[in-house]
Chains A and B, each alone.
Chain A
Amino acid sequence: MDAGTIVSIQKLCKSYHRGNQVIPVLSDISFDIAEGEFLALMGPSGSGKSTLLNLIAGIDQPDSGSIVIGDVDVTTLAETELAKWRALNVGFIFQFYNLIPVLTAFENVELPLLLTPLSRSERKAHVEMALRVVGLADRMDHYPSQLSGGQEQRVAIARAIVTDPTILVADEPTGDLDRNSAEEIMDLMDRLNEESKKTIIMVTHDPRAAKKAHVIRHLDKGILTNADPQDTL
């Protein structure tokens, strides 16, 4: 693993079983992600983008191959260890925000911190900081239903960054947003990458979103191809 490499994926294979039928999704995927990189994963629907992202994020297990993040091969971790590892190292951003509807923006962002030994006042400081970064310090007490889609996604981003994770993963973070909100979200992701040096791995269909990324990789039928951001324009 090169110095400056944060994620190293080797010979990754994943298939699903439907009855006794085997559906190969990812076949022999290998690539590295440098620390501080902003990577966009693109490709047609069903090409395995979400599957790959989930494997990197440690919420799914491959059939074979390894994924080393930092200095941990996450494919070797048992479920409970993996859960602990995720809590410390991965920030998730989903297409449909996936905020907990009965919790306020503040409480949603606080969720991952409940698993840390931080005191209540320390948690408060972290949550307020994260919400300030996404520009929603004034909406702390709002429930998800009282926020716009773009605002909800910003809360979700605050939740993803509040633990200061090693990597941020985002699965079509602008997929459910109008163009303006999508642009705001992409600017925010860009800023997180530029200013806070966050490593971001993002699946997207949106070329405009991908434009913010430094590296674009295409996935097609489980095979990875490299591409320059300019190519997609």
Chain B
Amino acid sequence: MQILKILFKNAFRHKLRTGLTVLSITIALLAFGLLRTVINAWYSGVEASSAYRLVTRNAVSIMFPLPYSYKDRIRQVDGVSEVSWGNWFGGIYIDEKNFFANFAVDARTYFDLYREYAIPDDERTAFFRDRKGFVAGRKLAERFGWKIGDTVVLKGTIYPGNWEFVMRGIYRGREPNADETVFMFHWDYLNESLKKTAPRRADQVGFYMVGIEDPGRAISIAEAIDALFKNSFAETITETEKAFTLGFVAMSDTIITAIQLVSFVVIVIILAVVANTVAMSVRERTNEYAVFKTLGFGGWRIVGLILGESVVITTMGCAVGIAATYPAAALFGKAMGAYFPVFNVEPDTIVLDIVFSLAVGVLAAVIPVYRTLKMKIADGLRMIE
């Protein structure tokens, strides 16, 4: 008990020095936490993907469409429970900087397949009934203040013209990592309009979303689908939703690695800062530790005093850092909402914060502890401050 009291008092002996050290740990953990949250946000689509879904696209590139007629043939493949389809619409709302994902989807099959999106029954019915209706994720609706019944105009980039939609519902994610920023409207509306304005572009599908019964058979089912269209004019590639999403994200693997590297460098720097603080404090008090030893305080008590002080300092920094990570991430998430639909601090990050600060606390004390244990009492007593 008394040892605890002494090490606490020691930790606060130089308030400025301790304060600055705590501050640097706080900032480091904050940076670490935000960087990790960015990485997690980047991969959130991958995390949210379901093992019960495959995606089929044109073998040449996602930019090339597939015939609408494929849907019936895919549905007949053994193990397929549901087929939905959609097109990336790429519409702009007022200004390019208002970017958000917008798709034309086959609404009925889509909401069957994407159970993680919850939408009230009355809104769903209203959406199904209105050919020009759309639904938006909760965050997207909040971002632009859209209310049910509002008319929203998107300027087409892939499909020219001004497209008018009426908001019929707001969906919410059942899981914290579900994307609540997507704009979805009826594929039929797009297709029928195209039939009138650009018939050659009608009856074409950007990608098929395929529900399967057994994730264990994903590979063989995907192979069976692709075999159907082998040697046709539009060959397909079918992969798990996870692999499909990863395909978009993985382009920036080097950036992710760089960010990861930076966040670990931050930890190493913090180790240097704390180690310096502890070494400085312990060195200044060499003769006090010599007195403790003179009085008969054994090795473990000396270790406890120094290690304890170091861990107290890093724990304070850790606590403040974690406390600050949540509001900082919330702010960051708000500012970057367009790029990161899901921006949550994951429990893993907090666990790592704690593990790292403990490790830094212990490692920072290693050399001072070693020196103090090795120090001859008579030499230590000679050192007058």
Q: Which residues of A contact B (CB under 8 A)?
A: 50-51, 54, 57, 59-60, 80, 83-88, 92, 94, 96, 98, 100-103, 107, 110-112, 114-115, 159
Contacts and interface: CB of A to CB of B under 8 A. Distances in A.
Contacts of A114: 2-3
A100 B376 CA distance: 19
Contacts of B230: none
Contacts of A159: 295
Nearest to B296: A87
Nearest to A60: B378
Nearest to B11: A102
25 contacts: A50-B378, A54-B378, A57-B294, A60-B376, A60-B378, A80-B298, A80-B299, A83-B293, A84-B296, A84-B298, A87-B295, A94-B291, A98-B287, A98-B288, A98-B381, A100-B6, A100-B291, A101-B13, A102-B9, A102-B10, A110-B2, A114-B2, A114-B3, A115-B295, A115-B296
B378 A83 contact: no
A132 B85 CA distance: 91
Interface string B31-61: 0000000000000000000000000000000
B259 interface: no
Given A54-B378, A59-B378, A98-B287, A86 B296 contact: yes
Q: Which 9 pairs show the lowest CB-CB distances between chains A and B?
A: A87-B296, A102-B9, A59-B377, A60-B378, A83-B296, A98-B291, A86-B296, A54-B378, A112-B295
Contacts of A59: 293-294, 377-378, 381
Given A103-B6, A114-B2, A86 B294 contact: yes
A83 B297 contact: yes
Contacts of B293: 59, 83
Contacts of A111: 2, 292, 295
Contacts of A84: 296, 298
Nearest to A86: B296
Contacts of A92: 294-295
Interface string B3-32: 101100110010000000000000000000
Contacts of A80: 298-299
A169 to B, nearest CB: 10
A101 B284 CA distance: 12
Nearest to B2: A114
A217 B288 CA distance: 30
Among A54, A83, A85, residue most surrounded by chain B Cβ atoms (within 10 Å) = A83
B384 interface: yes
Q: Which one of B2, B13, B376 has the greatest number of beta carbons of chain A within 10 Å?
A: B2
A102 B285 CA distance: 11
A4 B287 CA distance: 35
A110 B296 CA distance: 13
A86 B295 contact: yes
Contacts of A54: 377-378
Given A80-B299, A96-B384, A112-B296, 16 more contacts: A59-B293, A60-B376, A84-B298, A85-B296, A86-B295, A92-B294, A94-B381, A98-B287, A98-B288, A102-B6, A102-B10, A102-B13, A103-B9, A112-B295, A115-B295, A159-B295
Interface string B364-385: 0000000000001110010010
Q: How many B residues touch the partner, as a band? A: 20 to 34
Interface of B: 2-3, 5-6, 9-10, 13, 287-288, 291-299, 376-378, 381, 384
B373 to A, nearest CB: 10
A159 B294 CA distance: 12
A94 B3 CA distance: 23
A159 B378 CA distance: 19
A90 to B, nearest CB: 8
Contacts of A103: 6, 9
Nearest to A111: B295
A100 B288 contact: yes
A115 B297 contact: yes
B234 to A, nearest CB: 79
Nearest to A99: B291
Nearest to B384: A96
A67 to B, nearest CB: 15
B5 to A, nearest CB: 8
Contacts of B376: 60
B283 to A, nearest CB: 16
Contacts of A107: 2, 5
A186 to B, nearest CB: 22
A121 B296 CA distance: 22
Contacts of B287: 98
A48 B13 CA distance: 36
B144 to A, nearest CB: 59
Nearest to A114: B2
B301 to A, nearest CB: 8
A161 to B, nearest CB: 13
Nearest to B380: A59
Nearest to A82: B296
Nearest to A107: B2
Nearest to B3: A114
B299 to A, nearest CB: 7
Nearest to B13: A102
A97 to B, nearest CB: 10
A158 to B, nearest CB: 13
Contact of A83 (B10, B288, B298, B384): B298
A92 B13 CA distance: 25
A114 B378 CA distance: 22
A83 B377 CA distance: 11
Contacts of A57: 294
A215 B371 CA distance: 39
Nearest to A84: B296
